Structure 1
Amino acid sequence: MNYQEVFAAIPDAIVVVAPEPGFKILTATDAYLEVTMRRLEDIVGLKLIEEAFPDKNVPYNQNPVVLSLEKALNTKRTDSLDVIRYDLERPEGHTFEERYWEASHIPVLDEQGEVKCILQKSADVTERELAKRAQASSEEKFRFMTDMVSQLIHTADANGKLTYVNQRWINYTGLPFEEFLEKSWAEVVHPDDYGGMMLQVEKALQQKKGFQVEVRIKGKDGRYRWHIINSQPMLNENQDLIMRLGSTSDIHDTKMMVEELLATNEQMATLSDQVALAFQKAEAERLTLERLIMQAPAIFAIMKGPLHTFTLVNPHFQKLWPNRDFLGRTIAEVVPEVGEQGYISILNNVFATGEPFTADEIVVVMDWEATGKEEERFFTTTYHPLLEEGKITGIIVFGYEVTERVRLRQQLAICEKGLN
């Protein structure tokens, strides 16, 4: 029986090296040759690290593969490596493939207990490691985007247990991230509101539907303020509940304003109810986060370069100007009206200084409906610098229209003035 042929056919990636300094290659399995893109005749007799697979980025005496081989040789025991990166050069040219490996070094002993060779058993784990990196990158982008929005954002699993809250939740409640997730809603929601809220949560979980509830939430100063919590389900193709995504927004001042108006004059009760319903509808439409960014119920856009060229706009942004094409064009080209009202200078300052800018209830005057008649609309907008490799390359625009809220407040002010 030809044992060399049997060894070569082993389905594992194995290379055999001599125990003397340099660890010269003696033979290898076909699986090893395939995964390393080498031919046996080209590598036999070469020193494993110095000649066959050199690494110019790491000194020889610090190379983790060399250290592991020496440990296996000295201890006469198997030694395993953590995941390492070693890019392979393709045979046809000077191009490299990014690769990640796990390896074990197994000493083979003779009858006297001395090491006569060492087996290196390798596993190409590139696909797994790249998937882990992609997942980590995706999670980092998700955290970045949720931290940029003005709402308090949370996610929950299919059982309703909190799995994530954005930084605005942490800042508002003063609770550490892990403590917030552990204590969940019971720690922050007012005791008188908690039971009713959880009934809605359970109903929504059973029916796989969204829900909206008004509750009082405790801030880090110990005071409670009224908020609207809106939660929407995420279902897979089989309509199984994967997770829930929720947003929370402060409505305390408006709610107090409405309650004061009701208390001032009972005759205003009907009007106040109508105002409250109109406000809740406007807030629900604005705050519903069915999906982040492209499905977020808010204005979101990315502009690149000093001329502020649009590279991304979500449907809510496009909806403001349905007949205008944004992508690949500058803001001055697409919306010249905002330049005349001073907004481009704001963008220029954010791009130049890297300082975020928040415009609260700013007014924009335009012919929105292409009727020839200009109209005021109000927006709350955050302009945040987009950093890539430490440099400002663009601006992230996030905001929402607050025209109804402003007009509501104006209406309430007129009503209060009429009562005095």
Structure 2
Amino acid sequence: MEFFDYFINVPENIVIVSPEFKILAATDTYLKTTLKTREEILGKVFLKEVYQNPETSFEENPVTVSIQNAIATKKVDYLDVLRYDLERSEADGGGFETRYWEASHTPVLDQDGNVRFVIQNTHDVTERELAKKAMKASEGKFKFLTDAVPQLIHTNEPDGTCTYVNQRWLEYTGLKFDDLMGVKWLDTIHPEDVSQLKNLREKAISDKEEFQLEVRIKDKNGNYRWHLLKNVPMRDENQEVVMRVGSVTDIHNTKIMVQEMLESNEQLSALSDQLQDAYQTAEDQRATMEHLIMQAPALFATLTGPEHVFTLVNTHYQNLFPKRELQGKPVREALPEVVEQGFIQILDNVYNTGAPFVAEEIGVALDKDNSGRLVDTYFNIIYQPLYEHGKVGGIIVFGYEVTDKVKLRQELESLKANQ
């Protein structure tokens, strides 16, 4: 009797069954978990008269199979994780509660080596299994999001080792996932850009800071295109880097266009210095260029000095703000609504570091009619540093509005989501 008292008070989900599957004993914890009483289960056939699974037969029940294995082999048999929902009491609202279990079936032998009974010890692993399912769902959402964006997205360990690339990387390079892991992705960088990238990358990893650089990346056809590579550290609550996230944006067309514009300006400047007698011709060419810029169907402006003062604003840019005077005013004063949206910090970074800023479909809320009503607008834009005597003296702003394109795509995506 004393041993029985010890047994029923063991804080485990334990039930003892005979080789004929009749229930011989159970702990109080087991009865509490299954919402049964001893009178309801003792002497009953396990999994047939009580605890039967309506979705499968007694013979095919994985618990039945495991117990039979334990009896046949006379060794402990371990059951894989099994979902078995528990019935709630009426006081708890009734119905069933999702539960996941791990179980072991231990045969106990008599003096002749025959199985006297089998001990089932069950452990509730619901929290662990639900956490695993939640993590898997979270990973699925992360993959979907990174595959949906137009950029090449990758993640790295704190030491820079690549651990993940999105589908865009695979489509652009034509490589397999494993071909880009570790440091293999560096093989896609143009040989002339690798050294600078490695030096900048190693310093940023050592300093636990972000970095960005314009590099050429080889596509699946063997052609190199210019991209803006940016890598940002993710920190924990102790500010320790736990991973790094990288984004790669194609800027090839804009890069070539800007380079051609800068080369053209440099050639005109050199020609003016060398040929004094051609001054008027050069001035006419400059005036023509300015006229073309002013009438061009794209946004163009120049900003001068650390306060980013508008010194040239073409007609297309000015038409965004028909009731405002931009010329000669700092951006902060001329366009106060963009201050809180972080654009002053972006301009400051371009001016102070000389690193261009390129963005596709960047959103900005603008007060177009100077009424205080902000309108969501989207642009493809580049802020290119303008050098004077070897130092950044201003910024060239070039871009075009793509609001209609973005809103149309958003409407199409919304329609697809509601189908």
TM-score by shorter chain over 0.5: yes
Q: Distance in 2 between matches of 1:68 and 1:87?
A: 19
Q: Distance in 2 between matches of 1:321 and 1:68?
A: 71
Label 1:11 to 1:69 Cα distance change in 2 as closer, same or farther (>3 A): same
Partner of 1:55: 53
Q: Distance in 2 between matches of 1:45 and 1:384?
A: 65
- Residue 320 of structure 1 and its aligned partner are, at CA, apart by 6.1
Partner of 1:40: 38
- Could you list the runs of 5+ residues in structure 2 that have no partner in the other structure? 271-289, 291-299, 304-346, 369-373, 381-399
Alignment RMSD, CA only? 3.5
User: TM-score scaled to structure 2, two decimals?
Assistant: 0.67
Q: Map 1:66-81 to 2 at 5 A.
A: 66-81=64-79
Partner of 1:254: 254
Partner of 2:10: 10
Does the alignment pair 1:64 with 2:88?
Answer: no
Q: Distance in 1 between matches of 2:161 and 2:367?
A: 39
Q: What secondary structure is seen at the aligned counterpart in 2 of 1:62?
A: coil
Output one character per residue of 1:256-304: Cα deviation in whole Å (capped at 9) or x when no partner: 22233344452457999x7996996441xx37xxxxxxxxxx77xxxxx
User: TM-score scaled to structure 1, two decimals?
Assistant: 0.67
- Could you list the runs of 5+ residues in structure 1 that have no partner in the other structure? 288-297, 300-315, 323-333, 339-358, 362-375, 396-420
Percent identical residues: 44
Amino acid at match of 1:394: N
Q: Distance in 2 between matches of 1:207 and 1:280?
A: 19
8 Å CA contact 2:161–2:182 kept in 1: the answer is no
8 Å CA contact 1:35–1:124 kept in 2: the answer is no
Q: Distance in 2 between matches of 1:386 and 1:266?
A: 45
Partner of 1:191: 191
Q: Distance in 2 between matches of 1:240 and 1:182?
A: 21
8 Å CA contact 1:385–1:394 kept in 2: the answer is no
Partner of 2:163: 163
Amino acid at match of 1:157: E
Output one character per residue of 1:103-126: Cα deviation in whole Å (capped at 9) or x when no partner: 111111101111110011111100
- Residue 191 of structure 1 and its aligned partner are, at CA, apart by 1.9
Partner of 1:342: none
Does the alignment pair 1:377 with 2:401?
Answer: yes
Does the alignment pair 1:394 with 2:395?
Answer: no
Q: What secondary structure is seen at the aligned counterpart in 2 of 1:27?
A: strand
- Please tell me whether Structure 1 or Structure 2 has the larger radius of gyration of its CA atoms: 2
Q: Map 1:135-146 to 2 at 5 A.
A: 135-146=135-146
Label 1:59 to 1:11 Cα distance change in 2 as closer, same or farther (>3 A): same
- Residue 386 of structure 1 and its aligned partner are, at CA, apart by 6.5
Amino acid at match of 1:378: V
Label 1:63 to 1:320 Cα distance change in 2 as closer, same or farther (>3 A): farther
Partner of 2:127: 127
Q: Distance in 2 between matches of 1:7 and 1:105?
A: 17
Output one character per residue of 1:340-397: Cα deviation in whole Å (capped at 9) or x when no partner: xxxxxxxxxxxxxxxxxxx997xxxxxxxxxxxxxx932453448769xxx95439xx
- Among residues 79, 82, 85, which one is paired with 2:83 in the alignment? 85
Amino acid at match of 2:401: R
Partner of 2:225: 225
Does the alignment pair 1:28 with 2:26?
Answer: yes
- Residue 223 of structure 1 and its aligned partner are, at CA, apart by 1.3
- Residue 183 of structure 1 and its aligned partner are, at CA, apart by 4.4
Output one character per residue of 1:185-244: Cα deviation in whole Å (capped at 9) or x when no partner: 322111221121122222222222211111111111111111000111111111111111
Does the alignment pair 1:210 with 2:219?
Answer: no
8 Å CA contact 2:379–2:401 kept in 1: the answer is no
Count how many residue pairs are aligned between Structure 1 and Structure 2: 315
Q: Distance in 2 between matches of 1:9 and 1:191?
A: 72
- Residue 59 of structure 1 and its aligned partner are, at CA, apart by 2.3
Amino acid at match of 1:71: N
Partner of 2:172: 172
8 Å CA contact 2:162–2:183 kept in 1: the answer is no
Amino acid at match of 1:165: V
Q: Distance in 2 between matches of 1:163 and 1:228?
A: 20
Label 1:146 to 1:231 Cα distance change in 2 as closer, same or farther (>3 A): same
- Residue 80 of structure 1 and its aligned partner are, at CA, apart by 0.8
Q: What secondary structure is seen at the aligned counterpart in 1 of 2:260?
A: helix
- Residue 43 of structure 1 and its aligned partner are, at CA, apart by 2.1
